[in-house]
Structure 1
């Protein structure tokens, strides 16, 4: 018989083993690689923080981070507003076939991002895409969704289509936890549907909205699959440094600069931590004030 106090560590032991092997160990190895540099003469040599100094001054990395930050500012508010509207509509109980609608909104998240990007790449196509063909039939200018001016918005549209349902489910689940007594009290006070949503539902959704925002920060700065696949049909617009994550991948697997790629990945992780912490700090200050 195991002692009662030993049960807890045994339950979490499988997670800790996997966490150590699949997260901490690769992270430590990447940190180790970032302190070295492969040279033509002398082989691999220890350079300390020299790779980090080079990465901070790297204009390609800076452009990729700025581009992803613009993507975040454009895409995330639209995605979260749509997810919030869908969650409120489903929770209102006024929609017919609510379960079917909920499933229809969530289905795009179940589609792999590779498949979703290939599908939207076909729709965006200026030669055989349906938008281009329809424009030709109506004698209208062909929309260039894959041009330099449209590309960021086109990527935002793909990601929004993929993840609105995921965020909607999180917000909808949070709405279902609100006690019905609050709704009954609001109804007795004469509050309508809009007043109930504004005064009860939205304040109760703040933790869930903060969670979805943090997930969106991590996902946005790790943008990879969509630009990599669209590069094949728009190589003049998307280069190997279009996003910071794409840049790190290109350095490691195309340029064979594994040490510098590890450095870029660490700096990207640092940016994600800073942005996420800033959002949490701002939210906590507003809550306490």
Structure 2
């Protein structure tokens, strides 16, 4: 997988990374990457030579190290050699990283083991998606690509749902027009749009008007196959509803799917009674949540 400034697209499958530790046990004294520079001087010194092979025992031996902030005090090792996107190390500002996400803020404080580490591994995540997010977090908009493919947007959406990055991503998406580029004339959604992918993408980037339109359209097009599984037609094929949909989306299209079934049930009786039943069911759902 290339970095955002290079050509290429990330893969969409994750390989087994069970043999990769969830975090590195390295402390500031053990870091192979150092701790950045201040006024041209290293912030940390080692009295003895560092055994790079030993320190890199769970990483790609040809690991690419990308400096996001020259005065970094935290290194993130993202992905794994087996991951479709490969593995990269990102040198970042810990404060910026913390404030990008409530999940990361919690990770870097309190009783979490990562709070005292200078290196943290995210072996299951996409290095490409992480790169985009870190550039946004450090407000390095000039380093961001002008366009993102549907596949790349999905990778970022998965990361957003996992670490609650909607607020961070929203401004960048608006500034770079990444989503509008997938619309007809930058205005309306094409009839053959992949509803599942772009419902997830618009939710992840906090584009609520687009999300509401797409999730409603998705709900109205969902059907049930002979095995009683939810499906939707895309490119003239029956495609199962993706299992990794965020709970929020599953809830939204579930409500709308149920609404359609209620209206159908009353279709030959009293349509107004059916609509009142829908409103009552929706209100009760909102209250229970």
- Asked if TM exceeds 0.5, the reply is no
Q: TM-score, normalised by structure 1?
A: 0.20
Q: TM-score, normalised by structure 2?
A: 0.20
Larger radius of gyration: 1
Considering Cα pairs closer than 8 Å and 6+ residues apart, tell me whether 1 or 2 has the greater RCO: 1
Q: Which has the higher strand share?
A: 2
